[in-house]
């Protein structure tokens, strides 16, 4: 356990959670992308492709919610650093059985934006569920994950 904790950057020698000191890290351009899905009924798919769900424009509301979520990440995830987020995109696509969500977050800072990308997707997915629940109480959020990250000491990574 001690060896494992030594590798965990958000845990100190005694095992207590801590916020990592990033003040000595270089400022670099960083980008992270994440994705997820909300499984929905055929009725919801038809409504989203047509006249829309009763609550309003689900995709537009979810897009804005995802952008807002990315900007609020340090308020939601306790050990995340507040960052100067310079760009967020959230794209929602209606597939045959789901709403597919993709987010990209950019910054020029000392730490990455993977959590911001994940939060954007998560909040967008929660919003889709909220917008469609009158029609589909069984909607399922699934497959939320980081797809890529660039920048920083650890370099680039892609799924």
* Structural domains for the chain: 28-151 (3.30.70.640)
Residue 52: pLDDT above 80? Answer: yes
Q: Indicate which residues carry an active-site annotation.
A: 130
Residue 83: pLDDT above 60? Answer: yes
| Residue 19, token pair as written in the block | 């916020």
Q: What pLDDT is recorded for position 12?
A: 82
Distance CA 30, CA 86 (A): 10
Query: Quick one: pLDDT band at residue 6, thresholds 50, 70, 90?
Result: very low
- What is the widest separation between alpha-carbon atoms in the chain? 57
Strands (E), 13-139: 28-39, 85-94, 98-109
Residue 1: pLDDT above 70? Answer: no
Q: Which residues of 1-40 are buried (b: 16+ CB within 10 A; e: fewer)?
A: eeeeeeeeeebeeeeeeeeeeeeeeeeeebbbbbbbbbbb
Query: 11: which DSSP letter?
Result: B
Look at 18 and 47; give whichever has higher pLDDT: 47
Cross-strand pairs, 101: 36, 92
| Residue 125, token pair as written in the block | 């997915």
Strands (E), the chain: 28-39, 85-94, 98-109, 140-150, 157-158
Q: Which residues carry a binding-site annotation for substrate?
A: 79-81, 115-116
Residue 33: pLDDT above 60? Answer: yes
Query: Quick one: pLDDT band at residue 15, thresholds 50, 70, 90?
Result: confident
Q: Which residues carry a binding-site annotation?
A: 79-81, 115-116
Query: Quick one: pLDDT band at residue 48, thresholds 50, 70, 90?
Result: very high
Distance CA 80, CA 112 (A): 10
Residue 3: pLDDT above 80? Answer: no
pLDDT one-digit tens code per residue, 107-143: 999 999 999 999 999 999 999 999 999 999 999 999 9
Mean pLDDT, all residues of the chain: 94
Q: What pLDDT is recorded for position 72?
A: 98
């Amino acid at each position: 356990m001690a060896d494992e904790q030594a590798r965990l950057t958000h845990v100190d020698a005694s095992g207590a959670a801590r916020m990592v000191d990033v003040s000595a890290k270089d400022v670099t351009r960083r980008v992270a992308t994440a994705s997820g899905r909300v499984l929905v009924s055929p009725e919801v798919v038809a409504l989203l492709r047509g006249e829309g769900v009763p609550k309003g424009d689900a995709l537009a509301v979810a897009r804005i919610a995802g952008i807002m979520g990315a900007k609020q990440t340090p308020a939601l995830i306790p050990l995340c650093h507040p960052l100067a987020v310079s760009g967020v995109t959230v794209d929602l696509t209606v597939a045959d059985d789901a709403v597919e969500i993709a987010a990209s977050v950019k910054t020029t800072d000392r730490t990455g934006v993977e959590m911001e990308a994940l939060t954007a997707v998560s909040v967008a997915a929660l919003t889709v569920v909220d917008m469609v629940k009158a029609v589909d109480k069984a909607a399922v959020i699934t497959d939320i994950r980081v797809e890529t990250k660039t920048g920083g000491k650890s370099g680039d990574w892609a799924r």
